[in-house]
Amino acid sequence: MDASRLISQRARAINASGIRKVFDLGAKLKDPFNLSIGQPDFPVPEPIRRAAVHAIETNHNGYTVTQGIAPLRERLAAHLKRDLGWDCDNRPLAAGTGTGGGDPSRPGLTVTSGTSGALLLAFLAILNPGDEVIFGDPYFVMYPHIARMADAKPVLCDTYPDLRLTAARAEKLITPKTKMVLLNTPSNPAGVVATNKECRDLLDLCRSKGILLISDEIYDEFTYDDARESSPLEPGVRRCPSPGRYPGAAETVLLVRGFGKTYGVTGWRLGYAAGPRAIIEEMNKLQQYTFVCAPAPLQHGAIAALDYDMTEHISAYKARRDKVMEALSPVTEVISPGGAFYAFVKVPEKMGMTATQFVTAALEKNVLVIPGNVFSARDTHFRLSYAASERSLSGGLEVLAEMMKG
What domains does the chain contain, in order, with CATH numbers? 3-44+310-405 (3.90.1150.10), 63-305 (3.40.640.10)
Cα 100 to Cα 73, 283, 288, 290, 292: the distances in Å are: 16, 12, 14, 19, 17
Beta strand 178-184 pairing with 212-216 = parallel
Question: d(Cα 190, Cα 357) in Å, to the nearest integer?
Answer: 20
One digit per residue, pLDDT tens: the chain, 406 residues?
888 888 888 888 777 666 666 666 666 778 899 999 888 989 999 999 999 999 999 999 999 999 999 999 999 999 999 999 999 987 765 544 444 566 778 999 999 999 999 999 999 999 999 999 999 999 999 999 999 999 999 999 999 999 999 999 999 999 999 999 999 999 999 999 999 999 999 999 999 999 999 999 999 999 999 999 999 888 889 999 999 999 999 999 999 999 999 999 999 999 999 999 999 999 999 999 999 999 999 999 999 999 999 999 999 999 999 999 999 999 999 999 999 999 999 999 999 999 999 999 999 999 999 999 999 999 999 999 999 999 999 999 999 999 999 7
- pLDDT for position 110: 96
Question: d(Cα 77, Cα 91) in Å, to the nearest integer?
Answer: 11
- pLDDT for position 10: 84
Question: d(Cα 223, Cα 339) in Å, to the nearest integer?
Answer: 4
Q: What is the DSSP string of 122-134?
A: HHHHHPPTT-EEE
Q: How far is CA 335 from the centre of its chain?
A: 19
- pLDDT for position 98: 46
Q: Are 169 and 180 in contact (CB under 8 A)?
A: no
| Range list of β-strands (E), 28-88 | 33-34
- pLDDT for position 187: 97
Reading phi first (left if > 0) and then psi (alpha if -120 to 50, else beta), residue 191 is in left
- pLDDT for position 29: 76
Could you give the 3-state DSSP secondary structure of residue 252?
coil
Q: Are 152 and 193 in contact (CB under 8 A)?
A: no
For the chain, the distance separating the N- and C-terminal CA atoms, rounded to the nearest angstrom, is 54
- pLDDT for position 13: 79
Cα 270 to Cα 174, 252, 258, 260: the distances in Å are: 32, 24, 6, 7
- Cis peptide, bond prior to residue 92, ω within 30 of zero: no
Question: d(Cα 60, Cα 63) in Å, to the nearest integer?
Answer: 9
Reading phi first (left if > 0) and then psi (alpha if -120 to 50, else beta), residue 220 is in alpha
Instruction: Note if the pTM is more than 0.85.
Output: yes
- pLDDT for position 286: 96
Question: d(Cα 286, Cα 295) in Å, to the nearest integer?
Answer: 17
Q: Are 223 and 187 in contact (CB under 8 A)?
A: no
Q: Are 385 and 341 in contact (CB under 8 A)?
A: yes
Q: Are 108 and 90 in contact (CB under 8 A)?
A: yes
Helix/strand/coil percentages in the chain, nearest 5: 40, 15, 40
Q: Kindly report the length of the chain.
A: 406
Closest C-alpha to 105, from 315, 278, 338, 320: 278
Neighbours of 235 (CB within 10 A): 7
As a whole number of Å, the CA-based R_g of the chain is 21
What is the DSSP code (8-state) at residue 147?
H
- pLDDT for position 189: 97
Neighbours of 237 (CB within 10 A): 10
Amino acid at 199: C
Helix (H) or strand (E) holding 212: strand 212-216
- pLDDT for position 216: 98
Q: Are 301 and 55 in contact (CB under 8 A)?
A: yes
Question: d(Cα 378, Cα 134) in Å, to the nearest integer?
Answer: 17
